[in-house]
Every structure is written in C-alpha cells, then in structure tokens.
Amino acid sequence: MVSRYCFENKSAMLEGTISAASPDLALRKFKALSEAFGGVVYELYHPGGHLHWSDQCWRMLGFSREEMGDDIKSWLEHVHSQDRAKVLQEMHRVLRSAQPMHIEYRVCHRNGHYLWVRDCSYVCCREDGGACHIVGYLQDINDSKQWQKDLELSRRAIDSSLNAIAFTDLEGRLAYVNRSFARMVGIEKPSDIIGSQVGTFWKNPKKARVVMRSLQTLGEWSGQVAAVRPDGQPAYFDVSAHVVEDSSGESLCYMASFVDVTEQKQAEMEVKESEEKYRLLFSSCSDAIVLFEAGSFRIVDVNAAALEMYGYTRDEFLALDVLDLSEEPEQSRLRMQQIISGALRHFPLIGHRRKDGSVFEVEVSVGSFNWKNQRMFAAFFRDISERKRIEQLKDDMLSAVSHEMRTPLTAILGFTDYLMKSDDSPERQKGYLDIIQQQSERLKELVDNHLNLQRLRAGYGVGAIHPVEILPLLHGVSNMFSSSRGRERIRIQCPDDLPPIKGDENQLYRALHNLLSNAIKYSLEDQEILMGARRDGDAVILFVKDQGVGIPIEHQATIFERYFRVPSEHHNMRGTGLGLSLVQEIIKAHNGRIWLDSAPGQGSCFYLNLPLFGPAGS
C-alpha cells in the first residue's frame, strides 16, 4: 500500500527533483527511487531511438538488459500485439508535446506469459535542435489488474444473479443491490434505494433490528421476512445474511441473499385456508362423514357427527372398516364394489348398527378423491330415522284428518239432504240445524288449526301486540263453550288486579280455547275443569287443569310435536294432533314458555308463561 502510494505521487517528486538539480543527479535519484519500489527504469534518447534499461528488468520480466534490446523496435517486440499501436502512438505524443505519459499495457515475460505494467515517462531535457532525453518507469500492476478483473467478474455475477443480493453498511443502510433485488422490491433503478435502511421494505421494521443484533452478535441470520412492495402488495422473502470481513477479521459490511417466496407463501396460505374450510365443514356437518381407503375399506377419519351418531370413540372408529357399520356387511360389500367401479354413488336406504347394537336407517352418498397418491372415499351417512318418523306421523295425520273431516261432512251432507226432502216440524228441523252447525264448527276448527299452524311456523301468525287483560280473556274463552259442550264444568281462578300481558289477543284466545277444548274432551262430564292465572315476577302464568285420563310420562316429551297423538290404548278419543302444536307455536311467537304436569288417571295441567306488558315486562 505504501509502495503504490509513493509511485502514484512519483510525478510530483520527479518534477521537483529535475527542477532542483542537474539532469544527471535527478536521474540517479529517480533510479534509486524506482529500485526501492521494485520497478524498471529506462532511458530513451531521441532522435535515434536508443534505449537503456535498469537491472531490475531481469527481476520483473526475466530478461537481461542486453536481451531487452537497445531500441524501440526491440522493445515493441516484447509488447503484446494488441497493445503495440497504442504504445507507439502514446510515445509519439510524448515526443511531440513533451507531456508526461501514463499508459497501461501488457509485456511478455521470459516464461511466455504476459504481465500488465504501468508505464510512466517524462521528458527529462530537450535541446534546441529537437533532441530530447526521456526517462520512464515500468511498474508491475499484474496483481492489481487480476484483482480488478476478479472484482468485475464478481460484480457481474452478483448483478446477474437470479437471487436478490444486497450489501449494507454496519448501520443497515443499503450500499449495493443487484437488479434482482430492485425487481423484487418493485424499484425501477437500484440506485434509487442506495442509502435507505433495509428495514424500510419490511412489513415489521422492528424485525430488522432483531436481524441486525443477530448479525452483530452471531455473525449470521437466516429466516423469512414479510415485506410490502411500493404498490402496497404483500411479499415474502427467505433471507440468508452474514458478515463480510477483511483479511484481518474486521467487519466491513453485511451481505444478504433474498429469495422471493411470495407465490409459494400465498399458495401455502391458500392451502391452509382451504384446509381450515374443509376442517370446518368436516367438523360442523350434521351428517356423519367417514373417510376410508378404497382397497381395504379401512376407516382413516370421521367427523364429530359420526361419533355422536354411532356412539364409538375416535380410536374405536379407526380400528374398524366401513363394512363394520352395516347391519348386512355382505350386501354392503357388493355396494362398495359398485361404488369403487364408479357404477354407484348414492343409495337411499341402508341399515346401520350403532355401538349399542341398535339399528337405524341411513341414506348414503359417496365421493372419491386422491390423497398421498392413494385413492380414498368420503361416505356421507344421513340418519333418516326422524324423517321416517315424521313421514309416519304425516300418514297418521292424513288418516286422522280424512276421518275427522269425513265425520262432520257426512253429518252435514246427510242432515242437509234430509231437510231438503222432509216435512218435519220446525222444532225437529231446528235440532237438525244445530247438528249441522256443530259439525261445521268442528270442520272449521280443523281447517283453522292447519292454516294457523302453517302461518305461525312461517312467522306471519302473530298480529299487532297490545296489552291484553287476563280476566276478560279467560271469561271470553269460557263463554265460547255452550252448556252442552261443558261450560258449566269450567271454573275460573284469577285475581282481579293482575296486570295485562302483551300479545295478540286473538292468538292467545285460540291457544286457551284449544287447551280448554282438550280438557273437556279428555275428562268425564262430572269432572271440574279449572282455568286461571297468577303473577310470577315480570310474567303471568296461565293454566288449564283437568281431572281426565292424563298423559303417560313417556309421551310427554313429544306431546307438542305436529301430528303426534297419544296412542289410542290410553283413551278412546280421536284428533288431528295439531291442537297442542299450534298452542306451542303461539306461545313461542309471544316469547313465552309452555309446559305440562300430568300423570295417567290423574288429569293434566298445562301452563303458559307470558311476559307482562309495559316496563315490568320489557
């Protein structure tokens, strides 16, 4: 480093020497200086082109002074053929202008390889006739040239790398980035971001400080970084960074290599999101889902609905194959073979067996997919026991409705036809008309119950909400029953000062009417029926109590379901199974609650809990 510095300042030293001393003395000093720095000194006399070389030519080029030659022509034979014209042209320029020459070219070594040299020459003196004396100095710069060549090759390699590469100073400011880095962060020119903190491109700049501390303490860091491009789009990079040191081990800068993994990261996130959606659908589906292998039928996964439906634990399930669930395994095997061949994807009815041995019917749908290069099947099992029960209830309902409608219609048509043809007295005709009226009301009640139930279930059954006085409501319901239909047996128990409840009076009237009608129907003619109300905090409890046949405990949980009727062995009454279901829908629409207390042979009491009107019931 000292030698290079001295040589680069040789021009000033030489000029000062020549101006201050005689030419011979200056030349001796220059030769001594060049020998100290390991260069070769030459003297050129013009005209004539005579050359004289210093002894250092042997040390630098491997030639003796005699072998180097004593004229320009001999010297040019040692110069690389591609550099000769340049050297000759520059030498002529020095002779014409007397200006110093600084030129780099290649010279052949005795071993046959070429060395890079720097030629610095000066006109030492010039006579009036044009003769001049030139002194030159050759310095070996081959190592420097090779270093520059290696450096340029490294720079080109880094700049053309597909990986983004950045160098920062020890404070984290960008000192160099290649074109791939600029493209990666969305910058048009790499020079636009030189000097910026590398953390400014990261989504979380605090992480840049963590990386810097790791480089300072450990000398390296690797991991994934989330960034934000200038257009606001997210980006993800895999980063590997380390400290760059000089020959003495001192830290010079930091180097980091970036791999853009945005597409891969987004694909992973999409896969993760898809898996989460699949897992959510898989776990929340109400149907049992069973995944099994195509070849062995071995179960590999089940959802929560399957665990609940069959009663097995997950580990017990995974020890089974899908045929073990069937009541008839051989028949199921034939169907599974049809599924695997693609001939069958759905079959509406099959018997399955739970862990406790109970048998139930399921609908089956099967789809196939590939997982880890293996063909798998997903079977969806839907328990249709409840649907079958509802269908049976509907069939029973239709039978009951057709019977219930046939009875009043037969009476109406029969007595109407009789009255049109008979000449009975007005008293007898009035009796027949009473029967027709009763049967018409019965038919109307049946139709009204159906229509009201459908409207309530659709959310349109309740009208405007108003304060409803309780005592008038109870008397109004009671007065709708004639003496022949049991009005004399009804007793009302209600305080006069009960506050009003909020509701649709017509619908509340219908609910109490249905309860009172059932109480009369299912109790003996001499048994009292109690209808009343009492305060219960911010609500009122209405009740209808009879002393009739009662309801068995096993049927009380389903008594409010549509079309359900207590089996006929417990009574001899017929009905449609809609009355209590309608009552329940009315009370639910009023944000109320209904329940019962009953025992066979001891009668039943139905309770309705309804909120008060106004602030107390809000």
Full 3-state SS string of 437-483: HHHHHHHHHHHHHHHHHHHHHCCCCCCCCEEECHHHHHHHHHHCCCH
Residue 280 located in a structural domain: no
The count of structural domains within the chain is: 5
**Domain final position from 147, 173, 188:** 147
Residue 273 located in a structural domain: no
Residue 270 located in a structural domain: no
**252, 335: one domain:** no
pLDDT value of position 547: 92
Among 606, 484, 595, which Cα is nearest to 546's?
606
**91, 236: one domain:** no
Between CA 315 and CA 9 the distance in angstroms is 87
pLDDT value of position 122: 84
**569, 582: one domain:** yes
Q: What letter does residue 191 receive in the DSSP assignment?
A: G
**175, 314: one domain:** no
Residue 613 located in a structural domain: yes
**333, 470: one domain:** no
**399, 498: one domain:** no
Taking the CA atoms of residue 30, residue 34, residue 35 and residue 37 in that order, the dihedral angle to the nearest 10 degrees is 140
Token code pair at residue 596: 């019962």
Residue 271 located in a structural domain: no
**508, 595: one domain:** yes
**Domain final position from 147, 177, 207:** 147
CATH of the domain at 188: 3.30.450.20
**480, 557: one domain:** yes
Token code pair at residue 235: 């980006």
**18, 67: one domain:** yes
**78, 50: one domain:** yes
Measured in degrees and rounded to the nearest 5, phi and psi for residue 427 equal -65, -45
pLDDT value of position 56: 85
pLDDT value of position 396: 66
pLDDT value of position 32: 66
39 within 8 A of 144, measured Cβ to Cβ: no
355 within 8 A of 311, measured Cβ to Cβ: yes
CATH of the domain at 420: 1.10.287.130
239 within 8 A of 225, measured Cβ to Cβ: yes
Between CA 460 and CA 479 the distance in angstroms is 28
Residue 294 located in a structural domain: yes
Residues of the chain with pLDDT under 50: 1-21, 570, 618
**133, 165: one domain:** no
State how far the alpha carbon of 284 is from the alpha carbons of 18, 212, 302, 366, 494, in Å: 99, 46, 12, 18, 49
pLDDT value of position 458: 63
pLDDT value of position 516: 92
**Domain final position from 147, 170, 186:** 147
pLDDT value of position 4: 35
Give Cα 533 distance to the centre of its chain.
56
Q: What letter does residue 326 receive in the DSSP assignment?
A: B
Give residue 520's domain range.
462-617
**134, 64: one domain:** yes
Q: What's the full length of the chain, in residues? A: 618
